[in-house]
Amino acid sequence: MREYQFRYYTPTKVFFGAGAIEHLDESLAPYGKKVLMVFDKNTATATGIYDYVTNLFREKGYQWWEYDKVDPNPRLRSVIEGAKICKENDIEVVLAIGGGSVIDCSKAIRAAAFFPGDLDDYDGLWAWGAGFGNVTKTLPMVVICTMASTGSEMDGGAVITNEHTHQKGGAFMGELFLPNVSILDPKYTYSVPKRHVSAGAADIFIHTSETYFDPATDIDLVDGFAEAIMKTVAKYAPIAIKEPENFEARANLMWAAPWAINGLLSGGRMSGWTLHGLQHPMGAYHDIIHGQGLAILMPHWMRHILSDNTVDRFVRYGVNVFGIDPSLDKYEIANKAIEATEDLFFNKMEMPRTLSEIGMTDEFFDEMATQATARPMGMYVPLTKEEVIEIYKAAL
In this structure, the answer to whether residues 208 and 347 fall within a common structural domain is yes
CATH of the domain at 95: 3.40.50.1970
Answer yes or no: is 6 within a domain: no
- Residue 261 is given by DSSP the state T
Write out pLDDT tens, residues 103-154: 999 999 999 999 999 999 998 999 898 877 899 999 999 999 999 999 999 9
Answer yes or no: is 35 within a domain: yes
Euclidean distance between CA atoms 240 and 250, whole angstroms: 6
pLDDT of residue 377: 65
CATH of the domain at 352: 1.20.1090.10
Euclidean distance between CA atoms 23 and 11, whole angstroms: 17
Write out pLDDT tens, residues 229-264: 999 999 999 999 999 999 999 999 999 999 999 999
In this structure, the answer to whether residues 218 and 107 fall within a common structural domain is no
Write out pLDDT tens, residues 273-330: 899 999 988 988 888 899 999 999 999 999 999 999 999 999 999 999 999 999 999 9
In this structure, the answer to whether residues 163 and 226 fall within a common structural domain is no
In this structure, the answer to whether residues 101 and 203 fall within a common structural domain is no
In this structure, the answer to whether residues 181 and 201 fall within a common structural domain is no
Q: Which of helix, strand or coil describes residue 190?
A: coil
In this structure, the answer to whether residues 246 and 360 fall within a common structural domain is yes
Out of 187, 209, 238, pick the residue that ends a domain.
187
Helical H segments across the chain, by residue range: 24-28, 41-46, 49-60, 76-89, 100-112, 122-130, 194-212, 220-242, 247-259, 274-285, 290-305, 311-322, 330-342, 365-372, 385-395
Give Cα 202 distance to the centre of its chain.
Answer: 10
In this structure, the answer to whether residues 260 and 384 fall within a common structural domain is yes
Out of 165, 187, 209, pick the residue that ends a domain.
187
pLDDT of residue 218: 85
Euclidean distance between CA atoms 85 and 90, whole angstroms: 8
Q: What is the pTM of this model?
A: 0.95
Domain range spanning residue 50? 13-187
Answer yes or no: is 105 within a domain: yes
Number of domains in the chain: 2
Answer yes or no: is 127 within a domain: yes
Answer yes or no: is 5 within a domain: no
In this structure, the answer to whether residues 179 and 251 fall within a common structural domain is no
